[in-house]
Chains A and B, each alone.
Chain A
Amino acid sequence: MLLDLAAPDFPWIALSVAIPLFAALIAALSSALAPVVAMIAALLCLGAALWTAVLVTTHGAQEVAVGAWPPPLGIVLRADGLAVAMLITAGLVSIAAFAFARQAFSARTQTPETRSAYSFWPLGLCVLAGVNAAFVSNDLFNLYVALELTTIAAAALVAMSGSRAAFEAAIRYLMFALLGSLFYLLGVVLTYSTHGVLDIRLLAISAESGPSTIAAAALMSAGLMTKMALFPLHAWLPPAHSAAPAPASALLSALVVKPPFVILLRIWFEAMPELVTPTLAQAFGALGACGVLLGSILAMRQERLKLVVAYSTVAQLGYLVLVFPLAGGGGAQQPWAAGAWTGAIFLTLSHALAKGAMFLAAGAFVEARGNDRLDSLVGLAREMPISCFAFGLAAVSLMGLPPSGGFTGKYLLLTSSFASGQWWWGIVLVVGGLLSAVYLFGPLSLMFAREPALAVTPVSRARQSIALLLGLLSILLGLFSEAPYRLLQVDRPGAAAEGFT
């Protein structure tokens, strides 16, 4: 047989980069084909990722040496549990975003071709290719290129609406993101000149903690923290994510901020675990906690729904870095460290699904009412029950209420914080949950108010159901957490199981 698709070493993960890339190029040639091509590409990506999940859980982590050159000369793509879980999520969110975008950005309904209907598809597909490339790559420089691809396409998506505010948000995002790229690249250069390798696995073997290794790790982390909008480098995110059209916002908030976090995990847990000191871990946690509190408080004060949802992203990203103190801090309580690592990734996955659902629901509200001011949501539950329900399900997951995926993640983090005696991070988790309840119950109570809704432009049930599907998935992630939990344990880094030493 020419192609052994069932072989455990078939390079499915390389296809999850190449397929959306190829689709982006076709979409740039013909805007008539673009929506169909994008949907096919996203479906293929999801299929490849699901099949890889099956292979990986049965055969263990999978590697593809690109060009058949083994590292350190070549680049290795690696499918471990973390990478595959992220690939599946990226597939799901992009399918939803592309399905929702079909109406607004279809070349068939808009002749002659318009600017936005043409450019949305190649850019959206470049984002998908970029995040997938970042999830599977095991090479620090290659990760930089993947981040750049994602950033450039994402910044253009922010500017998509063409308004002055959108341009300003896009430029500010680009400035922050490029500064982050520079810092990251500087760290990569230092790493290469100190160790002579770029491959994460090889670094883990050769790395010794000299001053230049520490400087490299610090520079790379600073860059990645800028790109994932971690406090105090978060200011660019809310205007950017709220200025984009709804399907683009879903891609940005659900996917684009995730690769930097995954790379941060790979650098600290896989490449250089011996560099983590208790002080450093606590410092990471403190930044995260500030992000949770500040993001939540600012989310409460917003008057536009998309800004509420965007500030909530700042808060939710803060939780993720709590993994550093919780997986590393208490030397004696190591068994709990494993739970913290898995919990943080559960939060990453459920945030992606829930935030995708929320932005698509917000997009439906904007189409129905013409704006996203909170006071125009009054009574919408009667007119648009599906979207309101989707928003509610996503809210349940973001608040971390059972039985959602957000609950599973927070529960694992809470357990490890109390078990390791670091009750203060537990308090951050609980207070953050309460604050998110406050800022999400605001819009929800307006939607479900008994007053009659204002004039509504109808949005088709099929399109409203897309957000509902994502919202449901974020709940199902908690209900059926067994399979994803097992997937995440595939080739989990040693430091995630034993803590930093």
Chain B
Amino acid sequence: MAPAFSALTLFDVVLCVLIIGVALCSSSVRDLFAATVLLIIYGVFVAIAWVRLGAVDVALAEAAIGAGLTGVLLIGAVARLKITESPAAAVSRWQFAAKVIPASLGLLIASGLAYLVLTVEWRETLQAPVLANLPDTGVLNPVTAVLLNYRAYDTLLETSVLFAALIASWCTTHDDLWGERAGLRQHTRRAGILATFGRFLPPIGLIVGIHIFWAGADKWGGAFQAGTIFAAVWILAIMAGVIDAPNATGRSIRSFAVAGPMFFTFVALTGVLAQSFLIIPVMVAKPLTLAIEACLTLSIAATLMLLVLGAPRRSA
């Protein structure tokens, strides 16, 4: 048993060194694009760390949202900064302070947390009651039970945050461009690589997404992870010119974005009939949970896709 143990320990040590190293590189490198790419790599390593900690759901979310989606959003931001900002950044004497102060603050907080993590006696978490009540939730994955039953109210508000973020991003549209298609106009060569990818990958992505959504009830996965995959498929199809980018004034895209939180809020309101709020009745727990997740997946996919495309822009 000992050799296998030490091999895994070695793996963990290497992983930790990589995480810290990539994090340092990402925050110290000058080029913004390089920093973003390093951040994506950092996200992948952190996802692996979550797998090692046995939190596969968190790992999937970290890989899809923390590394993938955030990376795409940041790359989009970097690309736009290159258009608007002048390349010669002003060198000021504050630059040194602007690096040292956050760095020392970060170091202080990190070492404080490290001290606490190593010294504090950790209390028992809520694992036992979560597992004990699992039969009443209709699902076998305890993470799904927490997200869509025990603490479904948190998830309801979180999906509302996503909705608010979408409206906020639409709110940054130039007044003259309201009603135009989202993002930049896409130009693709008919037989180019992108066009081929755009026809070849979406079916595979759809199947993987549906599997992750369906598996979420009993194993690993769920609405957020599946929604991210569908969003990626959607974006790819738009970039490849297979379908058109939507515009914010379109009725159907608004319905897509709103469907999930709206159905969820509706379910929450029906709890009033039992003098409570957001009740998932045991009798219909599984189908109702799946229905909520299906609507949420749709809305999350639409919202993330729209957030990545961004507000309508004139082509440069």
Contacts and interface: CB of A to CB of B under 8 A. Distances in A.
Q: Is B a genuine binding partner of A? A: yes
Nearest to A19: B269
A21 B122 contact: no
A418 interface: no
B276 A123 contact: no
Contacts of B179: 112-113
Interface in A47-90: 64-69, 72-75, 77
Contacts of A459: none
A127 to B, nearest CB: 9
Interface residues of B, number: 61
Nearest to A142: B154
Given A11-B277, A67-B280, A196 B154 contact: no
Interface string B34-60: 000000000000000000000000000
A224 to B, nearest CB: 17
Interface string B131-162: 00100000000000000011111101110110
A28 B275 contact: no
A21 B160 contact: yes
B276 A64 contact: yes
Contacts of B257: 28
Given A123-B167, A133-B157, A196 B124 contact: yes
Given A73-B129, A196-B124, A66 B276 contact: yes
Interface in B243-281: 248-249, 251, 254-255, 257-258, 261-262, 265-266, 268-269, 271-280
A112 B255 CA distance: 19
B164 A29 contact: no
A169 interface: no
Interface stretch (A146-154, A249-257, A432-440, A469-477): A146-154
A66 B258 contact: no
Contact of B275 (A7, A69, A215): A7
B213 to A, nearest CB: 22
Interface stretch (A155-163, A260-268, A293-301): A155-163
A75 B23 CA distance: 35
Interface in B54-81: none
Given A66-B278, A73-B130, A114-B178, A211 B120 contact: yes
Given A18-B268, A73-B126, A212 B262 contact: no
B20 interface: no
B220 interface: no
Contacts of A65: 276
B36 to A, nearest CB: 18
Contact of A22 (B123, B164, B175, B269): B269
Given A68-B276, A73-B133, A145 B154 contact: yes
10 contacts: A15-B272, A18-B265, A66-B152, A66-B153, A66-B277, A69-B150, A73-B130, A114-B175, A145-B158, A156-B171
Interface of B: 109, 112-113, 116, 119-120, 122-126, 129-130, 133, 149-154, 156-158, 160-161, 163-165, 167-168, 170-175, 178-179, 248-249, 251, 254-255, 257-258, 261-262, 265-266, 268-269, 271-280
Q: Give me the 5 closest cross-chain CB pairs, A-B, nearest first.
A: A156-B168, A14-B277, A196-B123, A119-B171, A145-B157
